[in-house]
Structure 1
Amino acid sequence: MPKRGTSVLHLKDVSKSYEGADGPVPVLRGVDLTLGAGRTMALTGESGSGKSTLLHIVGGLDKADGGTVELDGTDVTTLDDRARARLRRGKIGVVFQQFNLIPSLDVAANIAFQARLAGRPDRAWIADLVSRLGLEAHASKYPEQLSGGQQQRVAIGRTLAAKPRLVLADEPTGNLDEESGERVLSLMLDLVAETGASLLVVTHSSHLAARMERRLHLRAGRIAE
């Protein structure tokens, strides 16, 4: 496990624009950000402030126009599509608001999926996750047979099964009621802490943001702490 606090993620002067009808539309305007190992951070901001774009760039799903994005000492901005895909499989886990489970796989297979992609299947750890997430009675069920809270717990288990260095979560409780959301959030924080992963959460929820160690606010593509 990496020493807590050492830098896992470092962004320097990251910029991104998209083409609009009248030319380039700036979305990120020189973002700086550092996240230490085992640390948690919330990224808040109004719709259109650039939160999701930043998360996609950190996760290697999109490329920055300028600046650097270092993950574990690797500058993601210099990698081609194939190398970014390898980095995602090996070091990054993503928890989506929409769960994105594989309908044809049962709970146990969904949880094991990411670890198999990363080449790190660990049957004991996956069984422990199924138990810790309260899914033992549902292990042979399929996503459509689960409640929203149960599906999100499966998604968290899938993400953590590969023991990523960095977990990215995009509104992870946004589709859940308050009670289910609180339960899921607590489980995610406990398991992230146990694995030593760093956690970056994009959220509109002030309650969720308050559970993180640090909070950054994006306004018009710039960080305003």
Structure 2
Amino acid sequence: MKDTLLDLQDIQKSYDATPVLAGVSVTLSAGETLALTGESGSGKSTLLHLAGGLDQPDAGRVLLHGQDIGQMDDTARAEARRLHIGLIFQQFNLVPSLTVGSNIALQARLAGRHDAAFCTTLGHRLGLSDLTTRYPEQLSGGQQQRVAIARALAPKPALILADEPTGNLDEDTGDAVLSLLLDLVSETGAGLLMVTHSPRLAGRLSRRIHLSRGALAAA
């Protein structure tokens, strides 16, 4: 039995009195890959933000390695993200004053786990080897997305949270990026929770759950 990495227990969340999540429970084990699907507005991104400690639930528990990050203060949650979580969101949030190479290394340096050889390997596998001295403004949207993915993976996080990580990529590149994510999970024992609208991509993960109107439902 693999260790439970992430345990979301009866999560409830509303914004401006509008319910977004209504008692959602999800578990993710180390080394497991889980696809989260659902229509727009079903609460997928909200659940991902709560899992990453970027927001706090109104009720329920968000346990990471058995610790309730939903009850931590902002400083402690930021520390948990830095040390344990790789975030891949649709907003790239690259640092404009840093080169591609420095952007890729940033999270690993902050976590105290910078591995130059691994960063180089990530850049190569994501097709960024010839772009390391460029700046974000010199890149296409797809290239920026690949840099953001490399940055999230560089510290070898225990938990990878990805919101449509291939959304700005063509199908072939998207398939290659997902293969890299799955390889990293296999190599490091990380857990992957990925939001996707693609049944084809969801089918490549070990398990799938579906959200509808803020609750788990049949896909």
Same fold per superposition (TM over 0.5): yes
Write the distance in 1 (CA, Å) between the matches of 2:177 and 2:6: 25
Q: Say whether 1:212 aligns with 2:209.
A: no
RMSD: 1.6
Contact 2:149 2:165 in 1 (8 A): no
Contact 2:55 2:70 in 1 (8 A): no
Write the distance in 2 (CA, Å) between the matches of 1:25 and 1:195: 39
Query: Which residue among 34, 40, 59 is the counterpart of 1:41?
Result: 34
Which is further off, 89-98 or 141-150? 141-150
Contact 1:149 1:180 in 2 (8 A): no
Shift of 1:130: 2.3
One-letter identity of the residue aligned with 1:116: R
Q: How does 1:110-121 map to 2 (within 5 A)?
A: 110-121=103-114
Q: Which residue of 1 aligns with 2:67?
A: 74
Contact 1:98 1:175 in 2 (8 A): no
**Deviations 1:75-97 (CA, angstroms, capped at 9, x unpaired):** 11220111111101110111122
Write the distance in 1 (CA, Å) between the matches of 2:96 and 2:147: 12
| Percent of paired sites with the same residue | 63
Which is further off, 157-166 or 124-133? 124-133
Write the distance in 1 (CA, Å) between the matches of 2:14 and 2:132: 43
Contact 2:56 2:71 in 1 (8 A): no
Q: Which residue of 1 aligns with 2:90?
A: 97
Q: Which residue of 2 aligns with 1:152?
A: 145
One-letter identity of the residue aligned with 1:138: L
Shift of 1:179: 2.5
Unaligned residue ranges in structure 1 (runs of 5+): none
Instruction: Please state whether the residue corresponding to 1:189 is helix, strand or coil.
Output: helix
Tell me the TM-score normalized by structure 2.
Answer: 0.93
Instruction: Please state whether the residue corresponding to 2:167 is helix, strand or coil.
Output: coil
One-letter identity of the residue aligned with 2:53: G
One-letter identity of the residue aligned with 1:155: A
Write the distance in 2 (CA, Å) between the matches of 1:132 and 1:54: 29
Write the distance in 1 (CA, Å) between the matches of 2:153 and 2:60: 29
Tell me the TM-score normalized by structure 1.
Answer: 0.91
Contact 1:97 1:173 in 2 (8 A): no
Q: Which residue of 2 aligns with 1:7?
A: 4
Write the distance in 2 (CA, Å) between the matches of 1:126 and 1:203: 26
Contact 2:32 2:185 in 1 (8 A): no
Which is further off, 84-93 or 133-142? 133-142
Unaligned residue ranges in structure 2 (runs of 5+): none
